[in-house]
Structure 1
Amino acid sequence: MNSETTVKFPGPKNMSKTIVGLVVAVLIILLGLQSFTIVEAGHRGVVLQLGAVQPQVLEEGLHFRIPLIQKVIPIEVRVQKAESSQVSASRDLQTVTTTLAVNYHLEGVNVNSLFQKVGMEYKARVVDPAISEALKGITAQYTAEDLIAKRSEVSSKVKEALAAKLSLYNMVLDEINITEFKFSEEFDRAIEQKQIAEQQALKSKLDLDRIKIEKEQEITRAQAQAEALRLQKQEVTPELIKLREIEAQLKAIEKWNGSMPNVTGGATPFINVK
């Protein structure tokens, strides 16, 4: 007796239920995954609920959010760097190009306010214009030479002005560095010529001081010699003269060899020593 195996396929209704079940399962999984978000290190999360910025700001780590209703925008709060080269005018109307490096960061608790007011383009909309305005405002207070001579003072004032502007948008200025002041070629030549003139003037002054000191030294030596001669004259007395004559005669006797000098006429010369 032969037996036959019958294969039964699911009917249309069963097939539809299976597909629907799979779709629902996939949707549940996707919704479950969308229910959580991770805020990376050095960032804060701005929560948008149906497009509206929410008051809470998400810290670093894992957070729950309502799928399809809420969206989390990560915003970096690490120190950021902005480099800028600005052309401005000094108080004496010299054109100066200033290269500036700025370090700043966003206040983590207020990034939602910044996002709401400015958006993600805060560097182009706020930071760069603030740097330009602060720098031009301060350089206009100094002459070109003072900008070079008082660089640290200028940097301090620029930092103060820029910090005040950034604070209006919940940004914190960490540090600024003025890396270069660049002037026109004509001004550079004028500065160079002035420095050469100052060097020459200093050299001339030093030469005059040296000549004056040497002259004073010569006068001092002459005065000392004159004083010495005066003192010697004061010390010359008749007794001293007589003593010197006796000493000279004694030296002559000591050198005499006993022979009479050859002379013609006159008495035999000899020294009378008592």
Structure 2
Amino acid sequence: MNISARNMVSGLLVLFALMLFLGTFYTVDAGQRAIVLRYGQIRSVEADGLHLKIPLVDHVIKVDVRTLKATSPAEAGTRDLQHVSTQVAVNYHFNATSLADTYQRVGLEVEDKIVDPRIQEVVKAVVARFSAEDLLKRRDDVRSEIVAGLSGALQKYNLVLEDVQITNFKFSGAFDAAIEGKQTAEQEALKASNDLKRIQIEAQQKVAMAQAEAEAIKIQADAIRAQGGQEYVQLKAIEKWDGKLPQVAGGNTPFINLKPQ
């Protein structure tokens, strides 16, 4: 073997040794865990930081244990046999302490295999317990039941549910038209009821005013009688007279009753 060939072999050996040396280290970032496999079997699950492994023997799979998001359309039937569709978004994460069990049982591709099917199952089960109208009126109750059911379903696979967002429930066009018609009828009935109450109140107000006016007239009449009758009326008229005599010949002077001596 000539010198150049020996130099080439030496260089390859050094490069291989360097690769082996560098291959003994690996880094796990914050928010990750590392599943270490040795000959295909789980040896350990490591937290973030710098770690050692056996090159060509150990295989490292890094797993993100931070929040993951899955969005899935869901179709279901209500208690009163109305078809409804919605979009469900789920925030979840792997249970870091149970990664080995999750990997052995279902693997790490959980969104398609675990999360989406569980969303479909839970939404169908919950929606079936409500009428279509209740879905619109009791959204918080519906969401609470979906959260409870989905949390339990995912927990069986070492997945931790964080939050659930549900878009508006969508119904058939016929059902939407029926709901709109019902709302219109309720609004018209409410308006008619309010108009009736207004009319009744106005009528009561008029009766009260008439009664007040009648009472005032009665009081005035009683006062007149108490003050002397006709003389009292003339006195009040004199108080209002402007002092002008009538311009028509033969006219009577107001309130002056001339009697012959």
Regarding TM over 0.5, the answer is yes
1:82 aligns with 2:43: no
Name the stretch that deviates more: 59-68 or 203-212: 59-68
Q: CA deviation at 1:256?
A: 6.2
Cα 1:91/1:209, change in 2 over 3 Å: same
Distance 1:31 1:262 in 2: 140
Distance 2:187 2:193 in 1: 10
Q: What do residues 2-44 of structure 1 show as CA deviations (whole Å, max 9, x unaligned)?
A: xxxxxxxx67xx9997776555444432322222222233321
1:51 aligns with 2:51: no
Q: CA deviation at 1:62?
A: 1.9
Q: CA deviation at 1:111?
A: 1.5
Percent sequence identity is 37
Q: Of the two, which has the highest radius of gyration?
A: 1
1:108 aligns with 2:96: yes
Runs of 4+ aligned residues of structure 1 deviating over 6 Å after TM superposition are 14-20, 248-252
Q: CA deviation at 1:197?
A: 0.6
User: Which residue in 1 is equivalent to 2:132?
Assistant: 144
Cα 1:256/1:157, change in 2 over 3 Å: closer
Cα pair 2:68 2:91 within 8 Å, conserved: yes
Instruction: Report the AA paired with residue 132 of structure 1.
Output: Q
Q: CA deviation at 1:230?
A: 2.4
Distance 1:249 1:33 in 2: 123
1:186 aligns with 2:177: no
Instruction: Report the AA paired with residue 35 of structure 1.
Output: T
User: Which residue in 2 is equivalent to 1:205?
Assistant: 193
1:232 aligns with 2:220: yes
Gaps of 5+ in 1: 1-9, 264-268
Number of residue pairs matched by the alignment: 255
Q: TM-score, normalised by structure 1?
A: 0.81
Instruction: Report the AA paired with residue 197 of structure 1.
Output: A
Distance 2:70 2:112 in 1: 10
Cα pair 1:249 1:271 within 8 Å, conserved: no
Cα pair 1:35 1:65 within 8 Å, conserved: yes
Cα pair 1:88 1:96 within 8 Å, conserved: yes
State the superposition RMSD in angstroms: 3.2
User: Which residue in 1 is equivalent to 2:29?
Assistant: 40
1:120 aligns with 2:108: yes
Cα 1:22/1:197, change in 2 over 3 Å: same
User: Which residue in 2 is equivalent to 1:5?
Assistant: none
Q: CA deviation at 1:261?
A: 4.2
User: Which residue in 2 is equivalent to 1:174?
Assistant: 162
Distance 2:196 2:75 in 1: 44
